[in-house]
Amino acid sequence: MRSGRLSGVCKGRLYPIVSYLVMQSFYINTLILKDLVENFRWLMDAFSGKTNDEDRKRVIYNMVETAQHGYKKTVSALLYGILTEDDHTKYYDHICDHDKDSYGYLISLINQIVKHRGFALYSRRTIDRILWLVTIIIDDNRDTTVNAQPGLYEVCENLLRQIRGKD
């Protein structure tokens, strides 16, 4: 199944997904994209009316602990926030606060995005955010052994595979 100009609406705000993630004429893996968007909507609905960080942290904690597949849904929603929102560092802080698997699920999602054959067509902003995120995760795990993050090695390897000549 192919998907073209997808966009998500959350509380009257339009999130132009295609303009952030890929050029308009390129099709990407719709299952990953739909999951990220749906989970981000779910998170934004839960955040409605919550303005300060403490309230948002409590909401995320409740979502992670009580919802079915709450941790995975929350992490994928926060990843989408990192890739598309202006205050991306806050979304990463929330991931750090509620991490259960040493970033394992987050790294697997990043790997799916990075190894996509259309990675070079992602917007510059998205690629910069992915590189920023990988760098931060590496810095956060600098004192651990290499085997603590085996998926991170794959992400770096896939990033290196995406290097094209004459860029």
Tell whether the model's pLDDT for residue 2 goes beyond 80.
no
* Of residues 112, 134, 132, the one with CA closest to residue 124: 132
158's CB contacts (< 8 A; 6+ apart) are 111, 114, 115
Identify whether 3 is part of a domain.
Answer: no
- Write down the pTM of the prediction: 0.76
- How many domains does the chain contain in total? 1
> In whole angstroms, how far apart are CA 16 and each of 4, 21, 83?
12, 9, 12
Identify whether 133 is part of a domain.
Answer: yes
Which long-range CB contacts under 8 A does 46-55 form with residues at least 24 apart?
48/11, 53/90
Identify whether 149 is part of a domain.
Answer: yes
57-116 pLDDT tens trace: 888 888 888 877 788 899 999 999 999 888 888 899 888 888 888 788 899 999 988 887
Tell whether the model's pLDDT for residue 166 goes beyond 80.
no
Identify whether 2 is part of a domain.
Answer: no
Identify whether 136 is part of a domain.
Answer: yes
Identify whether 166 is part of a domain.
Answer: no
110-153 pLDDT tens trace: 998 888 777 777 888 988 999 999 999 888 877 765 556 778 88
16-30 pLDDT tens trace: 444 444 433 344 466
Determine the structural domain holding residue 69 and report its residue range: 8-161
Identify whether 76 is part of a domain.
Answer: yes
Identify whether 112 is part of a domain.
Answer: yes
